[in-house]
Every structure is written in structure tokens, then in C-alpha cells.
Amino acid sequence: MAERIQITEQERARAIELLGREPRTPFSIKTRCCDGSPQVLLADPVFVEDGRWKPFPTFLWLVCPELKLKVAHLEEKGLIRQFSEKLASDENLRESFTKGCSEIIQIRVRMAEEIMAEEVPESILTILSETTIAGSFDIKGVKCLHAHLAQELAFGNNPIGHEILAMIGICRHERKTQ
């Protein structure tokens, strides 16, 4: 199961500020930039809305402003399409990507089982177990480079995220002294 670390109200407020909106689900900070700022948030893969459980497969959010900007520049340059083409043509990449997807699916389903404390309904299980980290049912396509990088930073099991990280490097936030 993905480790859920308690955060302070100040950390929660900063994470929401970086996310740019109030999240629909509870979350924790999965990874941090070198200055301690939230980098990747880990959200619950299921939540209650109008008294009913709903799936939330995009449960990792990249919130580091520097990394988000660098990834947005890659997306503007057409790298989503390039990675999709590479995924379709490169058997080794596809195999590694599929393995990472399977690992994320297992994490999401285990988290949902723990959160719900009951059997996960088939409709929710289908969404959590058949979608990529970006919530796409197209396992051979790449939808959002931010999500792939978030998965790589959080769990180290996304080859596309790994390539993105190699292209842009780590966050360069300086540690603030007090």
C-alpha cells in the first residue's frame, strides 16, 4: 500500500495553493522538492460524492511549479505524440510501461479496498484496474506527461516519466534557511 504520511494544516494549505484548487479527495504529500515543498500529492483513488463511492484513477498530482512548467514545455513541443508513437513501436518500452501500469493499478485497488473497508464495487474496480495513471483507458497512448512524471517520482515505475525526468532534471528549488 502507498504510505500515507500525515501533513500539517500549513502543508495542506501550501499543497492546495500549488494544486490551484480544492481537491475532491483527501491527499497526502508523496514526494517533496529539495526545499521541502510539496512535489507530488497522493490522493485517495475513491471518494464519496452524494452518498456514493466514486473512482478517482488520477491519484498522483505533480504540483512543483518548476517541474510543471518544464513538462508543459515538453507537451507544447509535441512530446505526448512522440511518446505515444514510441510506445507503439518500442516493445521494450511498452513492456516496461505495462508493468508500471500494473503496479499502479495494484496500488490503487489496495488503497480503495482499505479506504472503503468493504468489497470494491465492480464499476469502480473496472475504472481503477483498466486505466493508466492519467485516467485513460488507452493503455497504448500517452495522455498527460505530468501524470507520468508524478508516477515516476512517487513510485519509480514509469519509463516515460523516467525519460521526462532525464530530459528536464530535478527541481532546483534552493533549501531555505531559517
Residue-level pLDDT, tens digit, the chain, 178 residues: 566 667 888 988 999 999 889 888 899 999 999 888 999 999 999 999 999 999 999 999 999 999 999 999 999 999 999 999 999 999 999 999 999 999 999 999 999 999 999 889 999 999 999 998 988 888 777 989 999 999 999 999 999 999 999 999 988 764 443 3
Contact indicator for 149, 136 with CB cutoff of 8 Å: no
pLDDT value for 154: 95
Q: How far apart are CA 36 and CA 161, in angstroms?
A: 21
Q: Give the C-alpha separation, 142 to 98, whole Å.
A: 12
pLDDT for res 139: 76
Q: Is 32 helix (H, G, I), strand (E, B) or coil?
A: strand
Nearest of 107, 88, 97, 103 to residue 148 by alpha carbon? 97
SS3 149: helix
- CA angle, corner 59, sides to 57 and 61, nearest 5? 135
> How far is Cα 104 from Cα 109, in angstroms, rounded to an integer?
9
Give the count of alpha carbons within 13 A of 33, CB side only: 23
Alpha-helix residue ranges (DSSP H) falling in the chain:
9-19, 65-76, 79-89, 91-116, 122-130, 145-155, 159-168
pLDDT in tens, 3-49: 666 788 898 899 999 988 988 889 999 999 988 899 999 999 999 99
* Cα–Cα distance, 56 to 109 (Å, whole number): 11
Beta bridge pairs of residue 129 = none
Does the predicted model carry a pTM greater than 0.85?
A: yes
Query: Rounded distance, CA 65 to CA 63, Å?
Result: 6
Q: Which three cell numbers stand for residue 125?
A: 474496480
